[in-house]
Structure 1
Amino acid sequence: MLVVVIDDFAKEYLHSDLKEVRQTMLRKLDGLSEYAIRRPLTSTGTNLLGLVKHLAVAEARYFGEVFGRPCPEPVPRWDDLEQRGRDLWATEYESREEITSRYQRVCEHSDATIAALAIDSPGHVPWWPRPDVLLFNVLVHLLTETSRHAGHADILREQLDGTVEMDADAMAKIGRDAAFWQARRAEIERAAKAADPATAG
């Protein structure tokens, strides 16, 4: 009986965190132009809308194919090398609404899979070195993957317009306004230069 309680707790805990970080991903698009959400902001082209598109494919695969519960949304074959990486950016023909709605529908399908299966339900990930997995493994993997991309999205959004995922009222109460962050950045820059003799002079 205790094992069942622990299993249910673990599944609910991981699932709850996954739901929360999904919402973070979608919030990162709020208030930005079409260009801003699609704009490549790293040398490899990382962009906000592309991260959401990529996560839709990841959830469809991992909570669909892996457990024999195919997602109704079309997903490129995992072994189609020609398609590799195309899920990381949006074409001019794909609207923000289309991509975010697809992500939400895929997440609903994922939620149904998670609800229907026990945490030790078996799945098969043919592209992993150890392909036989449990729902637990996949929940941890998707939570990690989504959190990693949410971290990317935090930095991209801050780069675009300075928006950070912080409680603005709480920051204001402790004096952490734009002037504070400008001074903090200058302090960090000074420390970085002081630590490297090559920048002295």
Structure 2
Amino acid sequence: MTEDLRAQAVKESLHDYLRSNRTELLAKLDGLGERDLRRPLTRTGTNLLGLVKHVASVQLGYFGETFGRPTAVEMPWLADDADVNADMWATPDETSQQIFEFWQYSAEHSDETIRMLDLDSPGSVPWWPQERRAVTLGLVLTRMLAEIARHAGHADIVRELIDGSAGNNDGNLPDQSDDQWSAYRERLAAAAEEAERRYGGRGA
């Protein structure tokens, strides 16, 4: 295999993982009503629709403006005078359908950038410090893989808090009844209490 073909194979593999991570994140919103899509379930307000809005915004920036492909879509939640974390939740004026359409546009625009460029194609991230702005498609692809995977994990936990749904049916999560999961949690809680008794407050 030539160097060019090897690089193309690596790019296609990274792109496949990116699309897979997108699918897993979006699947966590399936079947939920407006309240559950938007409900903040952590101290810092993490919510499902906000995760989708945030990832779509970040993705559009990294695969758009960074590589000279800016978009005409307005993202007021990223403006300098926007509210804190405005990209991490949806206002009542923003419908879930609008957020999903924005997500789809972001994915399509980003996929086009990835298809048309090589891994070593140069770009510049305008919101990074000057000395770090120079990047390649390969670097941005890797960064976005980590970004989406991280937020897909957040979404998995938030969805479990909403209705108990967890995992992505890939066999990595044991298939147990509610009673079995309850007994499992009790065992873990007892182990935590015993560890506290033995070792006190010492951490790693």
Measured against aligned partners, the alpha-carbon deviations of 1:59-93 in whole angstroms (never above 9, x if no partner) come to: 11000000001124223496725355211000001
For 2:120 and 2:65, the matched residues in 1 are separated by 17
Structure 2 counterpart SS, 1:196: helix
Q: Find out whether 1:156 has 2:144 as its counterpart.
A: no
- Mark the runs of 5 or more structure 2 residues left unpaired by the alignment: none
Question: CA–CA distance in 1 between the matches of 2:180 and 2:89?
Answer: 35
- Deviation of 1:42 after TM superposition, in Å, equals 1.1
5+ long unaligned stretches in structure 1: none
Q: Is the 8 A contact 1:53 1:88 kept in 2?
A: yes
Contact 1:171-1:177 at 8 Å conserved across structures: no
What corresponds to 2:39 in structure 1? Answer: 39
Partner SS state of residue 133, structure 1: strand
CA 1:76–1:138: 2 relative to 1, 3 Å: farther
Query: What root-mean-square deviation, in Å, do the aligned CA atoms of Structure 1 and Structure 2 show?
Result: 2.3
> 1:61-76 alignment to 2 at 5 Å?
61-76=61-76
- What residue in structure 2 maps to residue 30 of structure 1? 30
- Hey, what does 1:102 align to over in structure 2? 102
CA contact (8 A) 1:38 1:47 kept: yes
Q: Which moved more, 1:190-199 or 1:158-167?
A: 190-199
Q: Any idea what SS the aligned residue of 2:144 has?
A: helix
How far apart, in 2, do the equivalents of 1:38 and 1:99 lie? 12
For 1:62 and 1:98, the matched residues in 2 are separated by: 21
Which amino acid in structure 2 is aligned with residue 165 of structure 1? G
Report the 3-state secondary structure (helix = DSSP H, G, I; strand = E; otherwise coil) of the residue aligned with 1:143. helix
Aligned identity (percent) is 45
1:77/1:96 Cα in 2 relative to 1: closer, same or farther (>3 Å)? Answer: closer
Runs of 4+ in 1 over 6 A off after TM superposition: none
Structure 2 counterpart of 1:127: 127
Q: 1:101: how far off?
A: 1.2
* Partners of 2:77 and 2:87 within 8 A in 1: no
TM-score by length of 2: 0.88
Structure 1 counterpart of 2:192: 192
Equivalent in the alignment of 1:16:
16
- Aligned with 2:123: secondary structure? strand
Q: 1: distance between equivalents of 2:43 and 2:77?
A: 26
Number of residue pairs aligned between Structure 1 and Structure 2 = 197
CA distance 1:139–1:171, change in 2 (3 Å): closer
- Seen in structure 2, the aligned counterparts of structure 1 residues 84 and 142 have a Cα distance that, compared at 3 Å, is farther
Residues 39, 47 of structure 2: 8 Å contact kept: yes
Contact 1:60 1:73 in 2 (8 A): no
Q: Is the 8 A contact 1:49 1:96 kept in 2?
A: yes
